[in-house]
Amino acid sequence: MNMNFLELIKNGSQLLKAKKIESHVLDSELIASFVFNRSRENILINSKEMVQSNEISFFNKLIERRKRYEPIAYIFNSKEFWSRDFKIDSRALIPRPETEMMVEAVSKILKNRKFSFLDVGVGSGCITASILFENLHSFGVGLDTSSSAIKVAKKNILRFKLQNRCKLLNRSYEKFYGYKFDLVVSNPPYIRSSDIKKLPMDIRKYEPRLALDGGKDGLDVIKKVIYKSRSTLKKNGLLAIEIGNGQFIKVSRLLKLLDYKIKLTIEDYQKNVRCIISLLK
Ligand SMILES: C[S@@+](CC[C@H](N)C(=O)[O-])C[C@H]1O[C@@H](n2cnc3c(N)ncnc32)[C@H](O)[C@@H]1O
């Protein structure tokens, strides 16, 4: 069938709209940009240009995947984080912009220092790699209970040639002993088990449950990270932890109770505290 870019994108967008995908126009444009390896702007400017039938069928295949609510990042196997392209698939959580705020804050605090850090729940490796990029004298260990997530992290660490400054371990934090760090950083799973079913289909159906489910009150892993870091942090070491909406009061209470001093809190664009940086006294 003969068609131009405009018609192709419109078709794709309508198919996604029928599935109640809010970002149907953008997603269809992004898929076209990926299939034709041209920027969205370039395609929109040349919207009357005719397209080849083999490319139409590749485009339709990707639209079919999106129709089943697969996230764009998994379809493209790629997500930008801290201005770098991370290779990503459904074995690891898709890196989120909120997490970049935590990378920015710890890098600012530790600027120009030589330090070691532990990333609990390394996932795709986005936090570990970005801290290593920002802080040339740092060394990191990335832990994850999920052996599949560790494979994704390994791919990224090797692609970015950071393997000499980083070690990845397939282990849960509970079973990690023997080392002390200047910084423990973590974006743990923090969604309440009973809220998982309320998440958008993209997340619920495709992202790893282990990366989302924080137990009954959402705080299971957060609490473990706070308790356990008392023995993995050096004196005056920093704990940077990402939390979910509405968890700040409980988490800050626990931190104070366990001899941490809150140094900095970071809010997201909706003014919710999403990251706490504290010092172990
Ligand atoms: C929310 S994801 C974060 C991934 C990545 N750091 C990021 O920010 O995109 C949480 C990760 O923690 C891992 N995880 C869950 N419980 C853990 C535990 N007890 N010890 C180590 N890793 C754990 C999960 O497998 C998952 O990869």
pLDDT in tens, 89-127: 999 999 999 999 999 999 999 999 999 999 999 999 999
Ligand 1 centroid–CA 120 distance in Å is 6
CA distance 24 to 205: 18
The verdict on residue 158 lying in a domain is: yes
Ligand 1 centroid–CA 121 distance in Å is 3
Same domain, 276 and 172: yes
Same domain, 38 and 137: no
Query: Which residues lie below 8 Å from residue 201, measured CB to CB, with a gap of 6+?
Result: 69
| H or E stretch at 143 | strand 138-143
Indicate the pTM of the whole model: 0.96
- Is 15 exposed, middle or buried, given 0-12, 13-18 or 19+ CB atoms closer than 10 A? middle
Q: How confident is residue 54, by pLDDT bands cut at 50, 70 and 90? A: confident
To test the pocket of ligand 1, the residue of 118, 156, 210 to mutate (highest count of ligand atoms within 8 Å of its CB) is 210
Q: How confident is residue 144, by pLDDT bands cut at 50, 70 and 90? A: very high
pLDDT exceeding 70 applies to what percent of the chain?
100
Query: What is the per-residue pLDDT across 15-26, written as a single tens digit (0 to 9) for each?
Result: 999 999 999 999
The verdict on residue 73 lying in a domain is: no
How many domains is the chain built from? 2
CA distance 58 to 277: 46
Q: How confident is residue 53, by pLDDT bands cut at 50, 70 and 90? A: confident
- Identify the domain boundary among 50, 68, 86: 68
Q: Taking residues 73-86, what's their average pLDDT?
A: 98
Domain of residue 9, CATH code: 1.10.8.10
Same domain, 23 and 83: no
Same domain, 124 and 208: yes
The verdict on residue 94 lying in a domain is: yes
Same domain, 35 and 110: no
pLDDT at residue 262, as a whole number: 97
Q: Are 65 and 56 in contact (CB under 8 A)?
A: no
pLDDT at residue 52, as a whole number: 85
The verdict on residue 225 lying in a domain is: yes
Same domain, 245 and 214: yes
Query: What is the per-residue pLDDT across 189-216, written as a single tens digit (0 to 9) for each?
Result: 999 999 999 999 999 999 999 999 999 9
Same domain, 121 and 52: no
pLDDT at residue 43, as a whole number: 94
CA distance 57 to 101: 39
Domain of 43, in residue numbers: 3-68
Same domain, 206 and 88: yes
The verdict on residue 237 lying in a domain is: yes
Q: Are 157 and 129 in contact (CB under 8 A)?
A: yes
The verdict on residue 220 lying in a domain is: yes
pLDDT at residue 187, as a whole number: 98
Same domain, 194 and 90: yes
Ligand 1 centroid–CA 46 distance in Å is 43
Domain of residue 260, CATH code: 3.40.50.150
To test the pocket of ligand 1, the residue of 187, 227, 228, 229 to mutate (highest count of ligand atoms within 8 Å of its CB) is 187
- Identify the domain boundary among 49, 68, 87: 68
Alpha helices, DSSP H, located in 94-146: 97-109, 126-134
Same domain, 121 and 27: no
CA distance 233 to 231: 6
Same domain, 39 and 162: no
The verdict on residue 113 lying in a domain is: yes
Ligand 1 centroid–CA 74 distance in Å is 18
Same domain, 179 and 245: yes
Reference 75, options 146, 67, 44; nearest CA is 67
Q: Which residues line ligand 1 (CB under 6 A)?
A: 93, 95, 99, 120-124, 126-127, 143-146, 149, 172-174, 187-189, 210-211, 221, 224
- Identify the domain boundary among 44, 68, 92: 68
